[in-house]
Every structure is written in structure tokens, then in C-alpha cells.
Amino acid sequence: MNNIHGHCLCNTVEIIIKEYGNFVYACHCDGCRRQNSGAVLSVDPGSGENVEFTRGKDKITVYHDDGIERGFCSVCGSNLFWHNPQDDHYCMNAELFDDIIKNAEFGLELFYDRKPAYYSFAGERKKLDCNFEEITG
């Protein structure tokens, strides 16, 4: 897909991913769970060149978390993105993008060894631990 529109809960922030498929992954890391009260479902558009903030960029607050930028809408609080400024890599909240989630391929769970026992997603998919090594069985 091209020029995939996303927006936050209050519509102040609008984001476009220039080119992406439908791949979605979950992150169970400590930071994501604390920020969102659960695993975060994300898309991985990659380089900042593939992402455009088309509205409300001045309303985005960035929290700096151990070298990583976590961006959220300062009006409604929606979690927007995780950004590594070292290599300009963006991962974005999948639920901002209606056209992706309506036909998402949920193919990966990250930091699976950090997931607490009380919840889990149905179905089978690739799982990586906090060292990005595959968990089998």
C-alpha cells in the first residue's frame, strides 16, 4: 500500500506511511507494557524517510527513554511511535492505521520472555526473547 493514513484518538496528529504492507508485531518489553498497560501492537515502516507527519507535529511530545524516543499526542495521550534516532528507525502504533489493521498479518512477538503470565495472544507466530533469539516449543 502507498500513502497509508493514520491518526491519533483526537485527530490532532496525522501521520502518513509512504509505503508499507500489512505486517504487525507485538512488543512485550517492560517499557511498552508500562506505557500502554499491555503489549503494544506495532508496524515497522523503518526509516524516517518513509514516514510523514502531516498534521499536529507540534503537538507531539517525545519522551526520551534510554536513547529511544517514545512519541505521544500531547492532547489525547495516544501512543504514536517508538523511534531510534541512531539509525532513524520508526516503529508506530498499528492501531493508528485503519487500512493496515483491517487485514493485518500478525507475525511476530518481541520480548516474549518479558510477557507476564496473565495474558497471551491466541494463535501461533514467531516469538523472540529479549536477546532477539527465537523461542521454540
Given the rule CB under 5 A, which residues bind Zn ion?
A: 8, 10, 12, 27, 29, 32, 73, 75-76
Region of 32 please: left (phi>0), alpha (psi -120 to 50) or beta. alpha
Q: Which is nearer to Zn ion, 1 or 76 (CB)?
A: 76
- The one-letter amino acid at 51: V
Shortest reach from residue 1's CB to Zn ion, in Å: 23
Q: Quick one: three-class SS letters along 1-22?
A: CEEEEEECCCCCCEEEEEECCC
Shortest reach from residue 48's CB to Zn ion, in Å: 19
Q: Which is nearer to Zn ion, 19 or 107 (CB)?
A: 107
Q: Which is nearer to Zn ion, 60 or 100 (CB)?
A: 60
Question: How many whole angstroms separate alpha carbon 136 and alpha carbon 134?
Answer: 6
What's the CA dihedral at 47, 112, 117, 71 to 10 degrees? -20
Shortest reach from residue 27's CB to Zn ion, in Å: 3
Q: Which is nearer to Zn ion, 75 or 128 (CB)?
A: 75
Shortest reach from residue 67's CB to Zn ion, in Å: 14
